[in-house]
Structure 1
Amino acid sequence: MSRAAEAAMAASYKALKEDFVSNLTGGEIGEINYVTAVAPAAVVLWSVLQSRQSFFKPYTPLAFAVDFLLNVAAILLATTLYAKSPILLNTSLLALGALVYVLPKQTPPKKAKLPPSKQTKDAEPNPLPKKQFLTTYRGSMMVITSIAILAVDFKIFPRRFAKVENWGTSLMDVGVGSFVFSAGVVAARPILKEKLAGKSTSLSTRLYRSIRHSLPLLVLGLIRLYSVKGLDYAEHVTEYGVHWNFFFTLGFLPPFLALFQSAFEYVPSYAGLAILLGIAYQAALEFTSLKAFILTAPRTNLLSQNREGIFSFFGYLAVFLAGQSTGMVVIPRTQRKNLLLTLAAWSGVWILLFAFSTSYKYGLSLSVSRRLANLPYFLWIAAFNSTQILAFCLVETLFFPALHNKSTPSSPKEEEEVYKASTSRVLEAFNRNGLFVFLAANLLTGAVNLTVPTLHVSDLVAMGILIGHAVVVTGLAVGLDIYDISIKL
C-alpha cells in the first residue's frame, strides 16, 4: 500500500473515531434483553399449560395454534408492535402463566403397571441424552432469526434492531452471533461421543470430515452470492464485504475447528482457547493498522473487498469455541444442581469479562463491533447465550422435574416419551432442521422483497405479510417433523 493510501486511510479512520458516539449503552443492552426475554416468558406459559393441564397432549390443531402463538407469534409481536413496550408483553405472558398455574391441576390417566422387561432392566441410560432446554433454546433462536431477516425490510421493525454499521450492538447483531454460538454448542456432541468411545481421530481424518461438512454451506454461499448479484438484491457491503456472506463464515468454521482441536492438547479448555483467540485478535486490531484497514481501506482487490468477512471470521471462531465449551457442559448427563451452578458460574464469568472489556473507568474501554467481531462482541455473545441457556434450563427444572429426577425410570423409550411430552413441537421442529429452515426462510424473504415494496406498505399490510411468512416457515418445519424427515446441510 502506498504512503498516500496509508495517509488517506489514517485520516479517514481518525475522522471516524472523532465522530464516534458509542451505541452501546445500558439502555440498549437492557432493551435487547427485554425483547429476547419474550422467548423464556412464552416458554414459561407453554410449560405451565403442559405440566398443569396437559394442554399439548394430544397434539391437536388447537394445540398447534397455541404453540405457534406462544413460540412464534409472541416473538414477532415483541420485535414489531410491542417493540416499544416488550416488558408489557413479557408481563402479560407471565401473568397468564401464573393464572393457569393456580387452576386445579388436571390428573393424567393412570397407566397400567407392567412388569419391567429384561431389556428395560439392562438398558443403560444414554450418556448424551436429548435435553429439552437445549431444544427450546436453539428452536427459539431459529424462530427469531427466521422472523427478523424479513421483518427488518419493513418500517414496522425498528431501525435500532437492525445491524449496526460500525459500533454498538443490536438485536440482529446478537442474532448472527447467537447462530454461531448455537452451532458450537451442538458441535460438542461428536467430540463427547469420541471421548466416551475412547477413540482419537487423526488430524487428516478430522480435516476430511470437516471439509465434507463445509461443502454444502460453501455451495449455499455461492448460490446466495450469485442470486444477490444477479437479481440486484439490496445489500450492505460493510456487513461482510462485496462477495462474502454468512454462509461462507459458517462453511469455513469446521476446517479451522479441526485444527483448533489439536491445540486442545496444549490448552485443555475450549473456553480458554476462545478467550486467547479473542485477545489475540483484539491485540491485532489495537496494535496494528488492521482496524483502520477493515473500517476505511479502499476496496481495490479481493482481500480489501471482503475484509469484513475475512477478518471477522476470527471473532466468530472464538464465538463458536465458546459455544463448544458450553456444549461440553450441558450435553452430557449430569446432576441437575451441578449443571445449574456451572451454567450460572460461566454466565457470570462471561458477563464480568464483557463488563471489564467495555468499562471506561475500570476496564479496557473497548466498544462492541459486529463488523469487526472484536473481543467485546465475542464476550457479549457468550454472555447473552449462556444466560439464555441458563434461563431455559431453570424453566425446565421447575416445570418438568421428571426430565432430570433420578427416581424417574430411564429406559430409552420412557425417556423419549418424557422428552416429547415436555417439549414444544414447534421448537423441536425448528431445532431439528434448523439450517434448512433458515435457508427456506431466506428464499421466502427474497421472494417477498422481489414482489412487495416493503418500505412503502402500511403497518397492517406488513404484519399480514410477516404473519404469513411465519406460518409458512413454521408449517414447513412442523411438516418435516411430522413426516420424520431430517435434512442435514
Structure 2
Amino acid sequence: MDKSYKARKEEFVSNLSGGNIPEIIAVTLVAPAAVLLWSALQSRKSFFTPYRFPSLVVDFLLNVASVLFATTLYSSAPLLLLLFIITPAVVICLGPKRNPAQKAKPPAKLSSAADGPGDGKKNVSNALDPFPIRPFLTAYRGGMMITTCLAILAVDFTVFPRRFAKVENWGTSLMDIGVGSFVFSGGVVSARSVLKEQLSKSSSAGSLPKRLVASIRHSIPLLILGLIRLYSVKGLDYAEHVTEYGVHWNFFFTLGLMPPFVEIFHSLTAIIPSYEALSLLIVIGYQATLESTDLKRYILVSPRGPSLLSKNREGVFSFLGYLAIFLAGRATGLQAIPRRTSSSKTPSQARKSLLIRLASWSFIWTILFVLNSSYIFGIGAGIPVSRRLANMPYVLWVAAFNTWQLLLLCLVETFIFPSVHKATDKSSEAERSAFATSRVMSAFNKNGLAIFLIANLLTGGVNLGLNTLDASKEVAMAVLIVYAGLVTGVALALDVWNVKLRL
C-alpha cells in the first residue's frame, strides 16, 4: 500500500469525536422498524411463506439494505427513513389478517395411564422446551450482526459519516455501540448453557480447572484468528488505527480471552448469585482505579514504550470493560430465554413478566448511565463515555442500549405473533417460530462469528483493491450493496446447507 495513501487512511479514522446519542438511537431504530414491517407483511399477508425469490429480495431490502441506507444516504435524515418503514407497517397491521400458515392446533394430549408406551414417549418428545428459540432474540442477534458487517466496510468510504466512526478518546458513535453490542449479544446467547446446567443440576461441567480447560479450547480458534489478522495487517502494510486496541492487539484477542475469565466469574455466582452485580463490581472497580491512579493517563497519553503492555495497553485494560459487558449480556439472557410458565402462570402471564423485566432493566441501566455520565443540578458523576477505555459510562450505555433493543423486538413479537409464546407443544411452537422469523436474520444469527470473519476478509480485499477514500458516492454505494449481497448470500447458503461453523 502506498505510504501516502496509508497515512491518509489512518488519518481518515483517527482523532474523531463521534456524534450525539439521540441521532445514534434514530439510526439504530431502523433495524427494529424493519422487523416491524417484515412482521406485518408476514402476519397479515404471509408474504414470506412460501419463501420464493421475491420474498428473498424484500427480506434483504428490509433487514439489510435499510440498515445500509440508514448509515449512508439517509444518515442525515434517519427519521424520514423510519417514517417510510413504519407507515406501511401500521397500515398493514390495521388491515385484515390473512394467516393461513398459522392455523390453530388442538392442545397436545397429556400422557396418562390409558396411553400406550408409544403414546407416552411421543408426548414427552413433543413437550415444550423450557428454553425455547425466541424469534425476537434471533432478530436481535441477526440485526446486530448485519449492522456490524455493513459498518466495518462502510466506514472506509466518505459516504459513511465520520461521526458514526469510532471515537478517538471521548464521545459516542454508532461503531462504538456496535463493538460493545457484539460482546453483549455473545453474553446473551451464552446464558443458554448456564440455564441448561441449572436445569439438569449436574456437575458434568466439572470443577473450575476443568471448565477453564474447556473454555481455553474454545478460545484457541479465536486467538489463532487474532494472530492471523495481526500478521496479515503487518505483512500487507495495511492501514491500522493503533489507538483503537494497541500495536498488536485486535478484537479477536478480546473475544478469545473472554471464555476463561467468564468461567472464573461464573464460579463466583456461588457467592454473588447475580451477573448484574458481578458486572457492576468489575466496572466499578475498574472505574475507581482509572480515577484514583495514573492508569487513565497511562492508557491515553503515555508514550508507546518498549514493553508489550505499553504497546497494547488499550486492548489489555479495556478488556475489563468488555468482560463487564459480556456478564451484563449473560444476565439479560438469563431473563429473556427461559419460558417461565407453570401451573399457576399462563403463557400470557409469563410473557407479560418478561416484558416487565426487560423494561425494568432497560430503565435501570439507563438511569445508571445518565447518573454516571452526566452532571445536572448537582447530581451525577459527569464521566464522559470512552470506548477506548471501555470505562463505566461506556459499559452502562451498551447495557442500556441493548436491553432497549431487546424490549422493542420482544414487543413486536408479542403483539404481532402472539401465537408463538402461546404454543402448546414443541412441534407447533417450532412451526410458529419459523413463521415469525426472517430467513435472513436467522442465517446471520446461526453463523454469526464465521460471517463476521468472512466480512472482515471481504473488507480487507475491497480496501486492498480499491481506493475507498476517493471513491464517489455512486461507486461507494454500488460496492457496499454488492458486498451486502455477498455476505447475505454466504449466510443464506450456510443456512440452506445446514452448515454450522463453530469458531
TM-score class, shorter-chain normalisation, is over 0.9
> Hey, what does 2:282 align to over in structure 1?
277
Picking from 296, 304, 315, the partner of 1:291 is: 296
Q: Which amino acid aligns with 2:72?
A: T
Q: Supply the AA of the counterpart residue of 1:472.
A: L
1:161 matched to which residue of 2?
Answer: 164
Kindly tell me: are residues 111 and 191 of structure 1, through their superposed partners in 2, closer, same or farther at Cα, counting changes over 3 Å? closer
Alignment correspondent of 1:417 = 431
Q: Is 1:131 aligned with 2:131?
A: no
Counterpart position of 1:17: none
TM-score between both structures, scaled by the size of structure 2: 0.90
CA distance in 2, matches of 1:382, 1:102: 34
Question: Where do 1:372-383 residues align within 5 Å?
Answer: 372-383=389-400
For structure 1, list consecutive stretches of 5 or more residues without a partner in the other structure: 1-20
What's 2:367 paired with? Answer: 352
Q: Which residue of 306, 316, 322 maps to 1:310? A: 316
* Paired position in structure 2 for 1:12: none
Segment of structure 1 superposing worse, 64-73 or 328-337:
328-337
- Residue 269 of structure 2: which of 247, 264, 268 is its match? 264
In the TM superposition, residue 91 of structure 1 has moved relative to its aligned partner by 1.1
Specify whether residues 430 and 199 from structure 1 end up closer, same or farther in structure 2 by C-alpha distance, changes over 3 A only. Answer: same
Query: 1:324: which partner in 2?
Result: 330
Contact kept, 8 Å, 2:17 with 2:163, in 1: the verdict is no
Partner SS, residue 480 of structure 1? helix
In the alignment, the residues of structure 2 paired with residue 22 and residue 453 of structure 1 have an alpha-carbon distance, to the nearest angstrom, of 21
Q: How does 1:58-137 map to 2 (within 5 A)?
A: 58-108=50-100, 118-122=120-124, 123-137=126-140
Which residue number in structure 1 is paired with residue 419 of structure 2? Answer: 402
Shift of 1:96: 1.1
Whole-angstrom distance in 1 between the partners of 2:446 and 2:213:
25
Corresponding residue of 1:473:
487
Distance 1:402 1:119, change over 3 A: farther
CA distance in 2, matches of 1:85, 1:404: 36
Pick closer, same or farther for the CA change 1:246–1:112 going to 2, 3 Å: closer
Paired residues of 2:278 and 2:327 also in contact (CA < 8 A): yes
Distance 2:213 2:105 in 1: 50
2:46 and 2:101 in contact (8 A); partners too = no
* Rounded Cα–Cα distance in structure 2 between residues aligned with 1:102 and 1:356: 40
C-alpha distance in 2 between matches for 1:97 and 1:263: 46
**1:108-163 deviation line (CA, Å, top 9, x unaligned):** 17979799665553332111110000000000000000000000000000000000
Q: Is the 8 A contact 1:22 1:367 kept in 2?
A: no
2:269 maps to amino acid: F
Distance 1:401 1:110 in 2: 11
Q: CA shift at 1:413, angstroms?
A: 2.0
CA deviation after TM superposition for structure 1 residue 191, in Å: 1.0
Q: What TM-score do you get using the length of structure 1 for normalisation?
A: 0.92
Q: Hey, what's the Cα distance between the residues in 2 that align with 1:102 and 1:329?
A: 31
Residue type of the alignment partner of 1:423: T
Task: Call closer, same or farther: CA 1:456–1:109 in 2, change over 3 Å.
Answer: closer
2:371 maps to a residue whose letter is F
Q: Distance in 1 between matches of 2:41 and 2:408?
A: 18
> Superposition RMSD on alpha carbons, in Å?
1.7
5 Å matches for 1:207-226? 207-226=212-231
| Letter of the structure 2 residue corresponding to residue 294 of structure 1 | I
Shift of 1:100: 2.1
> In the alignment, is residue 248 of structure 1 matched against residue 265 of structure 2?
no
Letter of the 1:210 partner, please give it: S
**Is 1:368 the equivalent of 2:374?**
no
In 2 relative to 1, CA 110–369 (structure 1 residues): closer, same or farther, beyond 3 Å? closer
Show the counterpart of 1:486.
Answer: 500
From 15, 35, 38, the equivalent of 2:27 is 35
Compute the displacement of 1:205 (Å): 1.4
| Alpha-carbon spacing, 1:107–1:445, altered in 2? closer, same or farther (3 Å) | closer
Aligned position for 2:403:
386
The farther-off stretch of 184-193 and 134-143 is 184-193
CA drift at 1:225: 0.2
Distance across 1 between alignment mates of 2:22 and 2:338: 32
Give, as a single letter, the amino acid of the residue that structure 2 aligns with 1:58.
Answer: P
Deviation sequence 1:400-429 (CA, Å, 0-9, x none): 001112xx332x222211111110000000
In 2: Cα distance, 1:414 partner to 1:110 partner = 9
Q: How many residues align?
A: 464
1:449 equivalenced with 2:463 (yes/no): yes
| Displaced runs of 4 or more, over 3 A | 21-24, 109-123
1:365 Cα deviation (Å)?
Answer: 1.0
**Contact residue 181 and residue 385 of structure 1 kept, 8 A:** yes
Q: Which moved more, 1:473-482 or 1:104-113?
A: 104-113
Q: Does structure 1 conserve the Cα–Cα contact (< 8 Å) formed by 2:16 and 2:167?
A: no
Query: Displacement of 1:268 after TM fit?
Result: 1.1
Taking the aligned partners of 1:448 and 1:349, their CA distance within structure 2 comes to 42
Per the TM alignment, residue 265 of structure 1 is displaced from its structure 2 partner at its CA by 1.6
Q: Does 1:173 align with 2:165?
A: no
- Secondary structure at 2:325 match in 1: helix
User: Quick check: 1:39–1:140 contact (8 Å CA) kept in 2?
Assistant: yes
* Deviation at residue 297 of structure 1 after TM alignment: 1.1
CA offsets, 1:16-61, max 9 Å, x none? Answer: xxxxx9958xx71000000000001000000000000100000001
Q: Which moved more, 1:90-99 or 1:232-241?
A: 90-99
Q: 1:273 to 1:44 in 2, by over 3 A?
A: same
Q: Does the residue aligned with 2:469 lie in a helix, a strand or coil?
A: helix
Matched letter for residue 132 of structure 2: P
Task: Name 2:186's counterpart in structure 1.
Answer: 183
Q: Is 1:463 aligned to residue 472 of structure 2?
A: no
1:16 corresponds to which residue? none
Distance 1:110 1:403, change over 3 A: closer
Q: Please give the alpha-carbon distance, in whole angstroms, between the structure 2 residues aligned to 1:102 and 1:249.
A: 46
How far apart in 2 are the matches of 1:126 and 1:437? Answer: 28
Counterpart residue number, 1:146: 149
Task: State the Cα deviation string for residues 447-466 of structure 1 (Å, max 9, x = none).
Answer: 00000000101100100000
- Aligned AA for 2:462? V
Q: Distance in 1 between matches of 2:56 and 2:434?
A: 14
Shift of 1:168: 0.5
Tell whether 2:235 aligns with 1:230. Answer: yes
Q: Which runs of 5+ in 2 are unaligned?
A: 1-14, 110-118, 341-349
